[in-house]
Amino acid sequence: MKKKGIAMLLTVALAAGMTGCAGEKEPAPGKPSEKAKNETAESKENEASEETEIQVFIAASLNTVMTELAEKYNEEHPEVKIVYNADSSGTLMTQIEEGYACDLFFSAAQKQMDQLENDGFLVDGTRADVVNNQVVVVTLKDSGTAVTGLADLGEAESIALAGGSVPVGKYTRQAMVNLGMLPETEDVSAITTAEISEALEGVEISEQDNVSKVLTAVVEGSCEVGTTYYSDTYGYEEELDILETVPYDLTGNVIYPIAQVKNTEADEAQTKAAEAFLAYILSDEAKAVFDAYYFDTEIE
What is the residue extent of each domain of the chain?
50-132+255-292, 135-251
**pLDDT tens-digit series, residues 38-66:** 555 444 444 444 799 999 999 999 999 99
Q: What is the pLDDT of residues 111-148, one digit of tens each?
A: 999 999 999 999 999 999 999 999 999 999 999 999 99
The arithmetic mean of pLDDT across residues 91-102, rounded, is 97
**Per-residue pLDDT at 28:** 53
Separation of alpha carbons 124 and 107, rounded Å: 17
Residue 222 has pLDDT above 90, yes or no: yes
Q: What is the pLDDT of residue 127?
A: 98
Q: Is 50 exceeded by the pLDDT of residue 288?
A: yes
Strand (E) or helix (H) holding 92? helix 89-97
Superfamily of domain 50-132+255-292: Periplasmic binding protein-like II (3.40.190.10)
Statement: residue 23 has pLDDT above 80: no
CATH fit for domain 135-251, picks 3.40.190.10, 2.130.10.10, 3.60.150.10, 3.40.50.970: 3.40.190.10
Average pLDDT over residues 15-32: 48
**Could you report the per-residue pLDDT of 235-285, keeping only the tens digit for each?**
999 999 999 999 999 999 999 999 999 999 999 999 999 999 999 999 999
Domain 50-132+255-292 identical in fold to domain 135-251? yes
What is the rounded average pLDDT of the residues 223-243?
97
Q: Is the separation of the CB atoms in 296 and 76 below 8 Å?
A: no
192-212 pLDDT, tens digit per residue, is 999 999 999 999 999 999 999
Over residues 76-89, the pLDDT tens digits come to 999 999 999 999 99
221 or 35, which is more confident? 221
| Per-residue confidence band for 226, with pLDDT thresholds at 50, 70 and 90 | very high
Mean pLDDT, the chain, whole residue set: 88
Region 12-35 average pLDDT: 48
pLDDT at residue 93 in the model: 98
193: Cα separation from own chain's centroid = 28
In angstroms, rounded to a whole number, what is the distance separating the alpha carbons of residues 82 and 55?
6
Burial 128-158 (b: 16+ CB within 10 A, else e): eebbbbbbbbbbbeebebebeebbbbbebeb
Distances in whole angstroms, Cα of residue 164 to Cα of each of 170, 196, 215: 5, 11, 16
pLDDT for 299 equals: 82
Of the two residues 247 and 11, the one the predictor is more confident about is 247
DSSP string, 128-171: EEEEB--EEEEEETT------SGGGGGGSSEEEEE-TTSHHHHH
Return the pLDDT at 50. Answer: 74
CB burial string 182-209: b at 16+ within 10 A, e below: beeeeebbebebeebbebbeebebbbbb
Q: Does residue 37 surpass a pLDDT of 70?
A: no
User: How much is the pLDDT for 27?
Assistant: 54
| Predicted TM-score (pTM) of this structure | 0.78
Side chain identity at 173, as an amino acid letter? R
CB-CB contact of 133 with 293 (8 Å): no
Residue 98 has pLDDT above 60, yes or no: yes
